[in-house]
Amino acid sequence: MTNSIQELEYAKLLFVIGSNTTEAHPVISYYIKRAVRNGATMIVNDPRRIDLCQWASHYVQINPGSDVAYINGLMREIIANEWHDKVYVEKFTEGFEELRKTVEGYTLERTSEITGVSVETIREVARILHEIHPASVVYTLGITEHICGVDNVRSLANLQMLLGNMGFYAGGLNPLRGQNNVQGSCDMGALPNVFCGYQRVDDSNARRKFEKAWNVTGLSPKPGITMTEMFADALHGSVKALLIAGENVIQTEPHMAHTIRCMEACEFIVLSEIFYNETAPYADVIFPDRAWGEEDGTFSNTERRMQRVRAAVKPQGDARSHWWIMNELGKRMGVDMKFETSNDVWEEMRSLSPGFNGITRERIETIGLQWPCPTTSHPGTPFLHVGGSFTRGKGLFAAIEYSPPAETPDSDYPFWLSTGRRLWHYHTGTQTHNSLGMDDLFGEELIEISPVDAARLGIKTGDWVRASSRRGTITLRAWVIDRSPEGLCWTSFHFAKACANELTIDAFDPISKTAEYKVCAIHLEKAADGEPLGSTLVPRRQARP
C-alpha cells in the first residue's frame, strides 16, 4: 500500500476493484464501511456482486479480465473532459502524450462493449473521480491474478497519477496483500532479482556489500527464476532440487495435474512444514518447522509495517525454526551463517537494508514501524510519494492496450470460472481446518452459480455438480446465489477434496509470472440431486438487515 490502513476510514472516495474485502481482508473492510458511514462515496468494481457492494454507492459489474479496457475508458473520458489534474501531470509525471494517444481508442462505446459496463455508468464513474479528491484505489488479487496483472496495476497507477491522487493522505494505490507476510518475504529479498531491502543482484556495489557482510565471494549477478519457472524447469530437467518452506504448492498452484508432474520430475525435494499436507508425499526430506505461536520474529504487513511475532507456547515435538535449519545446513555445506537467535538474523538484515535500518526490535516492542525507516530516529513512513515525489523522479505513465484473458468461454467450456478466498478459511486450510469450529462454519467447498444458469441447468443449492476445465474435473455441491452474474461460477482452493486449482489455467503474466487464477473456462453439469445444505452449513453472507 502506498498509504496506511487506518487512513481508509477518512477517505472521501473509495475505488475498490478486484477486492472481496469483507471476506479476504475483513478488518480493512471495517475501516471502509466506517468511511462510508462518515460520508465517503464508494465505487465497487467487480464481476461478482460481492458483499461489500451493499455498502457501496455505486456497483460496477465488469466482465472478467476487462480491467485495462475499463480503466482506459475512464481515463479517456477524464481526459476528453479535461478533468485530469493538469498541474500534477505537468509537474510530477512523464509520458502523458503516449497515454492520451493510447486511451483515445477506448471510446465509451468500445469500452462498454469489452467491459459490459453501460456508457452512462462509465461517464458517471469518470465524473465522480473528477469531482471527489483524493480517491483511494484499493485492489487485491482480482487485479494481479491475470495474464495482464502487471498491466492492470500500471493502469490503476496511470489513473491515480492522472487524477493527481498519489502522495496524499487517504489517497494512493493500495494493494491489499493476501498473506500475513508476503510483504515481508519480498522485503527480505526472497525474490529472484533483489537482496533484502530491494537491492538488485545485478548491481555490483550491492553484491560487493553482501559478499563482504556474508564473508563469501562470487555472488551470482544473474537474476534467478521465479517459483512458477522453477516448477516448469523441474519438469524440463534443469531444476533438480527444490526447497519449499511452508507452502502447500500442490494445492496452491494452478493446473494441479501439471504441478504434480513437475514435482514428480524433480530429483530432490525438501520441505520445511508444520503439517503433512498434500505436497508432503512428493518430498524426499521433511523438516518439522515451528508454527506461528511457537516462533519469535517479525512480519511486515500490507502497509509496510514491521511488527513483532512472539513465541507464546513451546514448540510441538522436535520442531525447529526454519532459520535454524538453514543455519545448520549452511554449516554442513561450509558456510556458517552465524545465526544463534532470530534477533541475530534481524540485526544482520537491518544492517544490510538502508530502508529498514531504523527498525530495531526495541522500537517495535509495542507498535510496529512502517518502512522506509532509514535511521533509529526516523518515525517511519505512513504514506509514500508525498506531494508527488516518486522513487524514479517523475511518475511514468504507461500506455497499455487491453488484451483478453488466456482462455475465454466457448461452446465446449461455456462458463467463466473465477477463484478466490472465503472468510472462513485460509489458503489450503492447513491452519483453519485444524482449528476447532472453523469447519462447522464452512465445512465443504461449494461452487457459486448464478440463479439464471442454475435454472437453465436444473441445478438447485445443495445439488452435486461436475465442473470441468481442459485441465481437470472436480465434483462438489452447488450454491445458487446472485453474487455470481450469469455465465460466471466461482469457487475457492481451501479444500483438497474439491480444489479450484484442479481447474485453473497455468497461463502467466509475462512479467510478474503470476497465474491467471481469476479467469478460465469451464463446463458445468449436474451430477446428482443433493440434500439442501444443513442449517449450520447454510453459507452466511454479510448483509444489511
Partner 1 sequence: MELTIDGRNVPFRAGQTVLDVARENGIYIPTLCWHPRIGPSSRCRLCIVEIEGTRGLQTACSVLAGSGITVRTDTEIVKTARRMTVENLLYDGHHDCIACEANGRCELQDVAYRLGIREYPVVSEPAQLLDDSSAMIVMDPNKCIVCGRCIIACNEIVGNDVLTFSQRGYRTKIVCDTAVPMAESSCVQCGECLQLCPTGAITEKKSAGKGREWELEKVNSTCPYCGVGCQVILHVDRAANRIVRISGREVPPNDGMLCVKGRFAYEFTESPKRLTKPLIKKDGKHVEVSWDEALDYTARRFKEIKEKHGADAFGFIASSRSTNENAYATMKFSRAVIGTNNVDNCART
397-456 positions binding partner 1, by CB under 8 A: 423-426, 430-432, 434-438, 440-441
- Asked if 505 touches partner 1 (CB under 8 A), the answer is no
What φ, ψ does residue 393 adopt, rounded to 5°? Answer: 110, -90
Whole-number Å distance between alpha carbons of 326 and 245? 10
CB 501, CB 510: distance < 8 Å: no
**Which has the closest alpha carbon to 235: 187, 278, 267, 202?**
267
Sign of dihedral through CA atoms 193, 196, 202, 207?
negative
Question: Least distance in Å: CB of 193 to partner 1?
Answer: 7
With binding defined as CB under 8 A, does residue 10 bind partner 1?
no
Q: Say how far apart CA 186 and CA 247 lie, in whole Å.
A: 15
322 binds partner 1 (CB under 8 A): yes
Among 366, 375, 377, 411, binds partner 1 (CB under 8 A): 366
Cβ at position 129, least distance to partner 1 in Å: 24
Positions in 345-364 near partner 1 (CB under 8 A): 345-346, 348-349
Q: Is 318 in the site for partner 1 (CB under 8 A)?
A: yes
Instruction: Count residues binding partner 1 (CB under 8 A).
Output: 162
Report the nearest approach of partner 1 to the CB of residue 449 (Å).
22
- Comparing CB distances to partner 1, the nearer of 219 and 527 is 219
Residue 334 DSSP one-character state = T
Q: For residues 380 and 369, is the Cβ–Cβ distance under 8 A?
A: yes
> Rule CB under 8 A: which of 118-137 touch partner 1?
none
Q: How far is the CB of 28 from partner 1 (least distance, A)?
A: 6
Stretch that binds partner 1, among 23-31, 75-83, 100-108, 385-393 (CB under 8 A): 23-31
Query: Binding string, 53-92, against partner 1, x = CB under 8 A?
Result: --x-------------------------------------
- C-alpha of 480 from chain center: 26
- Binding segment for partner 1 (CB under 8 A), chosen from 86-94, 129-137, 156-164, 309-317, is 309-317
Q: Assign 3-class secondary structure to 347-396.
A: HHHHHHCHHHCCCCCCCCCCCCEECCCCCCCCCCCCCCCHHHCECCECEE
Cβ 255 to partner 1 shortest distance, Å? 12
Residues 6+ apart with CB under 8 A from 411: none
Residue number, 100 or 207, with CB nearest to partner 1: 207
At closest approach, how far in Å is the CB of 106 from partner 1?
28
Give the nearest distance from C-beta 223 to partner 1 in angstroms. 6
Measure the CA angle with vertex 400, ends 398 and 405; round to 5°: 140
Q: Is 280 in the site for partner 1 (CB under 8 A)?
A: yes
CA distance 246 to 24: 20
- Binding to partner 1 by residue 151, rule CB under 8 A? no
Cβ neighbours of residue 296 under 8 Å, at least 6 residues apart? 309, 310, 311, 321, 341, 342, 343
Residue among 219, 235, 457, 507 that touches partner 1 (CB under 8 A): 219
Q: Is 295 or 453 the residue whose CB approaches partner 1 more closely?
A: 295
- The residues with which 135 forms a beta bridge, in sequence order, are 13
